[in-house]
């Protein structure tokens, strides 16, 4: 899987899970992943349409993904482990897709560096 495709999957996951969480709990903080998802979706669209910006956009996407991943693990995971239920499932999906995206971006950066 390419880093761009994983970024697209991650952005859709963050948007969908964040909106689902917002509908369920009506807390404005549930929209934070949605905002990051929209920003990552913009990165995907820009990198698809402007290949000359691909390197810069990829680094921005990694930074945004890393920030949301740290936030999900550091702030939200302990609370969700206590609460359990669908909130924990949503969180694990977001953590999983974010981890996959970062892993593929890092692998891509390493491969480019080797060449």
In this structure, the number of other CB atoms found within 10 A of the CB of residue 62 comes to 20
First to last CA, the chain: 19
Contact assessment for residue 79 and residue 85, using Cβ atoms and an 8 Å cutoff: no
Structural domain boundaries in the chain: 3-114
Tens digits of residue pLDDT in 29-66 = 889 999 999 999 999 999 888 777 788 898 999 999 99
- The per-residue b/e assignment along 80-111, b for 16 or more CB within 10 angstroms, e otherwise, is beeeeeebbebbeebbebbbbbbebbeebeee
Q: Kindly report the length of the chain.
A: 115
Q: pTM score, two decimals?
A: 0.89
**pLDDT value of position 25:** 85
Tens digits of residue pLDDT in 12-26 = 999 999 999 999 888
The stretch 86-107 carries a mean pLDDT of: 93
């Amino acid at each position: 899987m390419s880093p761009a495709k994983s970024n697209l999957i991650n952005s859709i996951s963050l948007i969908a899970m964040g909106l689902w969480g917002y509908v369920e709990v009506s807390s404005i903080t549930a929209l934070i992943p949605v905002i990051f998802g929209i920003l990552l979706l913009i990165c995907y669209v820009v990198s698809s349409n402007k290949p000359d910006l691909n390197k810069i956009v990829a680094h921005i996407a990694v930074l945004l993904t890393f920030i949301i991943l740290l936030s999900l693990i550091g702030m939200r995971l302990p609370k969700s482990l206590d609460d359990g239920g669908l909130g924990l499932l949503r969180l694990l999906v977001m953590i999983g897709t974010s981890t996959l995206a970062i892993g593929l971006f890092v692998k891509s950066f390493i491969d480019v560096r080797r060449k």
